[in-house]
Each structure stands twice: as C-alpha cells, then as structure tokens.
Amino acid sequence: MTLATLAEVLQPALQGGYAVGGLVCLGWEDMRAYTMAAEAEDAPVILQAGPSCREHTPLPVLAKMFRYLGESVSVPVVAHLDHGYSADECRIALDCGFTSLMFDGSKKPLQENIDETAAIAELAHAAGISCEGEIGFVGYAGGAASAGTDPAEAAIFAKATKVDAMAISVGNVHLQQDHEGGLDEARIRAIEAVTDVPLVIHGGSGVPLAQRTALARGSKICKFNVGTELRMAFGTALRAAVDAEPTTFDRVAILKQTHDPVMAAARAAIRALKPTKAEEGVC
C-alpha cells in the first residue's frame, strides 16, 4: 500500500527542492493513466477529485478508485478532495477514505475563511490526514477575475489555520489552455518570506513549463495542480479514436485509445517538477 497524506509528500518536496503534481481527475481512464505515469517516473502523485468530477461520480466511489490505484503501485499516491466548499462535503470525503481535504473558502471574508478552514484542518488532523486551504482567489480563464494573495494575510492565514499546504493567487488562472501566462515571482517571494507552509499553485496548466520547473526547484511551491492540459490530451486522443474507427461503438475499445497519450502527457507534467538526478542523490 502506498497511500499517503498530502503532508507526507509535500514536506519531503519542501526539503528536497521539488514539487508534486496534483493531477485533476475526471474518470477512471485518466486517473489510471496518471497513476501509471507516476510509477513510470518513480515520483509521488496527488489524484484530485474536483467539483466537476464529483458531479459525475459520487465521493464514495471515487475514494475506492483512488485507494485501489494507490495500492497498485510502489510510489506514494494521495487521494485528495479538491475545492471542497462545505464542511459536510469534507466530512463525507474523510469518512470515505480520502487522505487529504482541500477546503476552499477563498471567496469569503478573511476571518470567515480562517475560521472555516481551521475547523476542517482540525477535523483532518484528528483523523490523521491532511488539509489544504486557499488564501486569495484564483480566477478562471474567460470567467471570474482573480484576487491576488496579500502576503500579510497569507502569514495570518497559515498560522491561524494550521493547514498543511496553502494555495495562493499569484497570476495563476484556472482552465487556461495555453502556457502564455506567468506567475508573479515577486509576490511569491513575499509570501514565502513570511511562512514555511508548502505553497500550492492552482491552474498550473497556464504556467510555462520552464517556470514550473524553476519554481519547483527554487521556491516553496511544492504542488502544482494540472488539469486542463491533461484534459486536452484526453480529448484530442478521444476525437482521433472516434474519427479513425467510425463503425466502432464499444466505448471500452474507444477509451483504451486515450491511455497512452494521457499517460505521456502526465509523465511530462510530473517530470517537469521532479528534482534533478544530482539533487536526488543529495536528498
């Protein structure tokens, strides 16, 4: 069994100068490809069940899928609730067997966000699992605008909530389909100067690969969430399979054609965050 908590994979990353991929899952095909990619790269992976995933598949089913996959490989696998918006949802995930909860109170006033996140962190820690919180709002491509993280508020939030990881808003955007964005490194430096909590970037697909690698190896950012670029790899492969065999109606046969492209895309995302071979030898 290699199921792990978020803290168990992020603390070594913080000390070792690398980051871990939080890969956004939508179904069995992608989560299996992600797990096999992590095994092939000999790296930990965080399987994430976000709101759209949970709309399609109930949390108890997702928990069993994540745990089954975690038990099938030799690398650490975190079963992570992404963007939990209520205490009830977080409790259900905990009871089902998730090993990490992310409570998202980023749209709420600071004190309310602190109070509610702290309660979830206490709940998680009492059960022996981890909690991620978010300070500053990360917006959406073509949708709600971001509100950048204030370093002073980040310091208060980290200390008061006792979270194991803190998601920040530093120029990152959810659902961005290109890599032409870029993170505000001055703001990142200001935040990491006031806390030792591992930092998280949501909307990692929009961050240029070179910047992901540089920050993974040279900052307190220990987790990059990656979803859009992997969904695009899946969608491209699925369309190609359907177009190539228009008389095939067996969904299993069609979906199998997505495995290799999605696994390759996941390997690339994971590899960009790993330490160099020299660094691995030191750690």
Active site residues: 82
Query: Which 3 state secondary structure label does DSSP give 178?
Result: coil
Provide the Cα torsion 33, 167, 49, 101; round to 10°.
120
Determine how β-strand 165-168 pairs with β-strand 130-135: parallel
Sequence-ordered strand ranges (E) for the chain: 3-4, 20-25, 45-49, 77-84, 100-103, 130-135, 165-168, 199-201, 221-226
Instruction: With H, G, I as helix, E, B as strand and everything else as coil, classify residue 174.
Output: strand
Query: What angle do the packed helices 28-41 and 59-70 form, to 10 degrees?
Result: 30
Distance from C-alpha of 118 to C-alpha of 161, rounded to nearest angstrom: 4
